[in-house]
Amino acid sequence: MPMDWVESGGGPLLAAPASQLARWEGATDDEGPEETWGDYGRACAIDGYIGLVGIGGGQGLVLGDEPATTTYLPDERLFVRWAAADSESDLVDAARHAVHGVEWQEELDWDVDGAVVLFDSAWPGATPEPGNHLNIDLSPGRYRVRAACERDDRNWMILVQLQPVS
């Protein structure tokens, strides 16, 4: 069964708390320097695979580095970011295998109050691009977010995993 994927127009993707979604304004001005691009500029300023950005009373998780098409595997609590692969099924299978032995390169803690929405950070949260966002059901709490770039002979992906912190 084909999976749902979120694509970027060239910048980072954002997993924003559903409760704070309307507070994300997206790109307010993309003609001037990055710091004038509004919330989108703040997401673009994140250096690395992952980072946090304030949204209202919460935090959004920025998926940075590459504007890679991304899906979410709920059983593994894993964002899979497609850099290169022959097929969706090959990439997803490789990601499910790789997550057990990958050397994580970045980590941070992220507090969420429940469900989040993954979308292109250039769009306003109140109206994410139709057909290009994912609703992700998360339990409220703190998560350890780990990220790594992983390659094998046929697939290249960025993995971002959420682990509940007790």
Q: With respect to residue 71, please indicate whether it lies within any of the assigned structural domains.
A: yes
> What's the pLDDT score for residue 90?
95
Averaged confidence pLDDT in the chain: 92
Residue 34 has pLDDT above 60, yes or no: no
Domain count, the chain: 1
Count Cα neighbours of 106 within 13 Å in the Cβ-side half-sphere. Answer: 20
Q: pLDDT (tens digit, 9 = 90+) per residue, 124-151?
A: 888 888 889 999 999 999 999 999 999 9
Q: pLDDT (tens digit, 9 = 90+) per residue, 55-92?
A: 999 999 999 988 899 999 999 999 999 999 999 999 99
Whose structure tokens read 């127009």?
A: 9
> What's the pLDDT score for residue 31?
63
- Per residue in 114-127, is it b (16+ CB within 10 Å) or e — as a string? eebbbbbbbbbbee
> What's the pLDDT score for residue 32?
58
Q: With respect to residue 1, please indicate whether it lies within any of the assigned structural domains.
A: no
> What's the pLDDT score for residue 36?
62
Q: With respect to residue 6, please indicate whether it lies within any of the assigned structural domains.
A: no
Token code pair at residue 71: 């899906």
Q: With respect to residue 2, please indicate whether it lies within any of the assigned structural domains.
A: no
Domain hosting residue 75, numbered range: 13-164
The CA angle 110-19-142, to the nearest 5 degrees, is 20
Q: With respect to residue 83, please indicate whether it lies within any of the assigned structural domains.
A: yes
Confidence of residue 10 (pLDDT cuts 50, 70, 90): confident
